[in-house]
């Protein structure tokens, strides 16, 4: 299988890490919207009343530094480095636009999505947010 065929099979929505996070949130009683098109970057999960946007980033595509799932491919390394750098810059820009608009941005990495203790910590933070008065 060629690299392009392999990369074409990678989905942008409903990925395994995203489904894992969504199931954990739903089981904890958190209700959300998916892929809100009106927001920059179309966050994976959105809590509209609390103005919280959650992105579930793939470690490779979004350059998770220090992660075992991220490394630049050995073929066409320069092209991949430039492409992934653009992805990283776009993520940074989207987060700053959302934060400037008053949104809280949470990024969950692919490698973190399968760690129950990490997800429970995020869930507890989100539940605490639910009890704060809306500004």
Q: What is the pLDDT of residue 11?
A: 64
Contacts of 114 (CB under 8 A, 6+ apart): 17, 20
Stated pTM of the model: 0.84
Grouping H, G, I as helix, E, B as strand and the rest as coil, residue 47 is: strand
Q: What is the pLDDT of residue 3?
A: 61
Query: Which of the residues in the chain have pLDDT under 70?
Result: 1-12, 130-135
Q: What is the pLDDT of residue 49?
A: 87
Residue 17: closest CA among 118, 91, 86: 118
* CA–centroid distance for 116 within its chain: 16
pLDDT tens sequence across 64-83: 888 888 888 888 889 988 98
Domains of the chain: 11-130 (3.40.960.10)
Contact (Cβ atoms closer than 8 angstroms) between residue 43 and residue 53: yes
Q: What is the pLDDT of residue 62?
A: 87
């Amino acid at each position: 299988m060629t690299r392009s065929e392999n990369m074409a099979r990678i989905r942008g929505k409903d990925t395994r890490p995203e489904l894992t996070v969504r199931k954990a949130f739903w089981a904890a009683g958190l209700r959300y919207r998916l892929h809100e098109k009106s927001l920059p970057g179309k966050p994976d999960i959105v809590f509209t009343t609390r103005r919280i946007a959650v992105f579930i980033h793939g470690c490779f595509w979004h350059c998770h530094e220090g992660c075992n799932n991220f490394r630049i491919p050995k073929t066409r390394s320069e092209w991949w480095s430039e492409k992934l750098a653009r992805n990283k810059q776009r993520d940074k820009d989207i987060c700053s636009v959302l934060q400037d608009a008053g949104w809280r941005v949470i990024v969950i990495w692919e490698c973190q999505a399968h760690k129950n203790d990490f997800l429970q910590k995020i869930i507890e933070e989100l539940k605490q947010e639910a009890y704060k008065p809306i500004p």
